[in-house]
Homo-oligomer: A and B are copies of this chain.
Amino acid sequence: MPKGFTLWFTGLSGAGKSTLAEAVAQELTKRGRKYDILDGDEVRTHLSQGLGFSKEDRDTNIKRIGWVASKITKHGGIAITAAISPYRATRDWCRELISQEGGFIEVYCAAPLEVCERRDVKGLYKKARAGEITQFTGIDDPYEPPLNPEIILETHKESVAESTAKIIQTLERLGYL
């Protein structure tokens, strides 16, 4: 059975998490591997409807993602998570849980706030600055960057292809692919 693992993207809204998750997924498909992308929106639909964006609700949501990822990892699958997952302690809780079942690779999409805000793909930063949405990571809610991620991607400087190649190379080097 192939070794299961979780590829855990973290970074600000607009830092490239979902785009890279999809790009990595395409590479995995080429290699005949099955995966599941657990992004913030999908999980909020299936697992966390009714939760808001307070610290407590965010933690609950991220822990649920971590729990599902641990199950996928246990059974030899590949879980790709693409939620902001802003709090370090909560990510470390997930690392601990998932590492008991297989691999855990934290991928920090390090584009700084000013770049993400300039891109503003979903128009959310504008709304956050206008006070239309609150508790928005980077504006009025903190983002705690990882201290020792397995992969750091300078998504404000690298192309999607370059970042994807770095991830795939790391997965190969670590023996997951």
Q: Which residues of A pack against B, CB within 8 Å? A: 1, 4, 34, 36, 46-47, 49-50, 60, 63-64, 67-68, 71-72, 74-77
Contact = CB atoms under 8 A, between A and B. Distances in A.
Nearest to A63: B46
Contact of A4 (B63, B64, B74, B75): B75
B74 A36 contact: yes
Contacts of A47: 47, 64, 67
A161 to B, nearest CB: 28
A36 B68 CA distance: 11
B71 A74 contact: no
Closest 5 CB pairs of A and B: A75-B77, A75-B75, A46-B67, A71-B72, A72-B75
Given A47-B67, A68-B68, A74 B77 contact: yes
| Most chain B C-beta atoms within 10 Å of own C-beta, residue among A34, A49, A50, A71 | A71
